[in-house]
Amino acid sequence: MVDNDFADCPQAETNSIQAAVVAAGPGDKILVCPGVYLETVVVNKPDLRIEAQAAPGEVELQAPAPPAPVPPFGFHLLNTTLVLVQGFTVHGFGDAIRIEGGGGNTLRKNITRATTAAGIRVINSSANVVEQNISFESQGAGITVTSSVTVAATSNNIIRHNETYSNGQAGLQILTLPPVVGALSGNVLFGNDSYKNPIGIRNVQLAHGSVIENNRVFENGRGIVVGNSTGVTVRNNRSERNNEFGIRLQNSAANNLVEQNEVFENEQDGIRLESSVGPIPPGVPGPVVGNTVQLNVARRNGRDGIRVFDSLAAENVIERNVLLENVEHDAHDDSIGPHTGGTANHWINNRCGREDQPGQDENRPGLCEND
């Protein structure tokens, strides 16, 4: 047991979380009593449970005040497995909580805030669970899953039921750090709330095979972004009232699936396919091809329900979507090619509805096929 001043828990063995970790063995549980702990904690041994024993917000891991330099992390799970960190408020660090190397760890019911980098960072580590945390006011992302090595080392992490808001970049993001190639796969963002960030959810830079499902993304600058990635599934999300678009496929997004999302009342397009969104990273050619956009509902968006923005977006299948009451068009395709309505894409059985302006549902014939 740990108590910073031995007042709440006079039977505690130490007043330092780090000292308790050093003394612990595999399978031990470290209980931390209420108080403010001015330290960083490196966990480099397996199978530990580190739990705050108080109500939320009563056990704080805090960086030293300026002018002291900002420590790079609060908790650092380094090359370890089967570690649980639960119930802490962590603030003032670079990354509040970082998992690096190893895998199979769990971060649960923590609060991170006021960091100079990320609230929670999972890097070069697989099969971790990050759940029921709240991350806000980081200068970077609220929660980020990333890789800095050139092997498939960051995969199958589950990020679920977290709340991220008022961060400086994205609420949640999955991405590699250049010049890494092919080092991310199969990560899952499920059931999270992301709001009031510049980007709600971002999956870019060779983050292949991710699943982005059942998230609520609202009141961000941009909703959900998928770029330069393949095999990504964006399903059953609600993306609404964002300042730009609800969902965008961009910059070499290929062979991804966007289905059964509700995309409401965004200030620009509900769903946008746009090949060249600058600045484009080196080596990224741009075309958005071979994606399937199906069974979505896009309603009352400020410009188009679904829009294909340029001629490099080709051979995408856009089918069985319900597009209603969008301001400019329900269905809009600016590409040129041999397919539906002279476009480069396949529009199949989409239902549109602009009763106030009949004939203005689409900018090309055949994009909408109403009964």
More confident residue, 278 or 233: 233
Domain extent at residue 3: 1-185
- Say if 131 falls within a structural domain: yes
In angstroms, the CA 261 to CA 217 distance is 11
Residues 246 and 325 placed together within one structural domain of the fold: yes
CATH of the domain at 339: 2.160.20.10
- The whole-angstrom separation of Cα 308 and Cα 296 is 15
Does the structure show a pLDDT above 50 at 209? Answer: yes
Q: Which two tokens stand for residue 110?
A: 């923590």
Q: Higher model confidence: residue 317 or residue 310?
A: 317
Domain membership of residue 148 (yes or no) is yes
Last residue of a domain, one of 167, 185, 203: 185
d(CA 103, CA 127): 6
Q: pLDDT by residue (tens digit) across 127-158?
A: 999 999 999 999 999 999 999 876 667 999 99
- For the cut 60, the answer to whether the pLDDT of residue 37 exceeds it is yes
Are 228 and 178 in the same domain?
A: no
301 pLDDT higher than 90: yes
* pLDDT for position 281: 56
Q: Read out DSSP for 173-200?
A: EEEEPTT--S-EE--EEES-EEESSSEE
Are 32 and 113 in the same domain? yes
Strands 129-131 and 158-160: parallel
Find the mean pLDDT for residues 9-19: 96
Identify which of 17, 167, 138 has the alpha carbon closest to the alpha carbon of residue 85: 17
Task: State the CB neighbour count (10 A cutoff) for residue 238.
Answer: 17
Q: Which residue in 26, 74, 33 sits closest to 52, CA to CA?
A: 33
With a pLDDT cut of 70, the percent of the chain lying above it is: 93
Read off the amino acid at residue 180: V
Q: What is the pLDDT of residue 278?
A: 61
Given a cut of 90, whether residue 208 has pLDDT beyond it is: yes
Q: Picking from 87-96, 188-197, 281-290, which range would have the lowest pLDDT averaged per residue?
A: 281-290
Q: What is the mean pLDDT of the chain?
A: 93
- Would you say 102 and 80 are in contact if contact means Cβ atoms under 8 Å apart? yes
Q: How far apart are CA 338 and CA 321, in angstroms?
A: 21
pLDDT, mean of residues 114-125? 96
Tokens of 168: 């400086």
Average pLDDT for 24-50: 97
Domain closes at, from 185, 212, 229: 185
Whether residues 147 and 274 share a domain: the answer is no
166 and 46 in a common domain? yes
Asked if residue 13 and residue 136 are part of one domain, the reply reads: yes
**Banded model confidence at residue 286, pLDDT cuts 50, 70, 90:** confident
Residue 208 located in a structural domain: no
Same domain, 256 and 156: no
CA atoms lying within 13 Å on the CB side of residue 235: 12
For the residues 315-341, what does the mean pLDDT come to?
96
Does residue 166 share a domain with residue 228? no
- The reply to whether 241 and 116 lie within a common domain is no
Tokens of 77: 């799970």
| Cα pseudo-dihedral 165, 166, 170, 172, rounded to 10 | -20
Q: Using the CB atoms, write b or e for 66-103: b if 16+ within 10 Å.
A: eeeeebebbbbbbebbebbbbbbbbbbbbbbbbbbbbb
Same domain, 109 and 253: no
Assigned domain for 211 exists: no
pLDDT at residue 67, as a whole number: 84
Name residue 147's beta-bridge partners. Answer: 176
Answer yes or no: do 303 and 173 share one domain: no
Match 């480069």 to its residue by tokens.
344
Instruction: Give yes or no: residues 168 and 265 share one domain.
Output: no
More confident residue, 177 or 203: 203
348 Cα distance to chain centroid: 30
Q: Are strands 41-43 and 73-78 parallel, antiparallel or unpaired?
A: parallel
The answer to the question of residue 205 being in a domain is no
Closest to 99 (Cα-Cα) out of 71, 70, 69, 130: 130
pLDDT at 371: 41
- The alpha carbon of residue 2 and the mean position of all alpha carbons in its chain are separated, in whole angstroms, by 34
**Structural domain includes residue 18:** yes
The pLDDT of residue 176 is 87
Does 214 fall in a domain?
A: no
**Between the CA atoms of 66, 68, 73 and 75, what dihedral angle is there, to the nearest 10 degrees?**
-90
Which of residues 138, 164, 185 is at a domain's end? 185
Instruction: Answer whether 0.85 is exceeded by the pTM.
Output: yes
Span 290-294, mean pLDDT?
98
* Residue 300 belongs to a domain: yes
Instruction: Specify the pLDDT at position 151.
Output: 66
Write the DSSP assignment of 269-283 as a string of letters: -SEEEES--SSPPTT
Residue of 218, 222, 335 whose CA lies nearest to 274: 335
What's the domain count of the chain?
Answer: 2
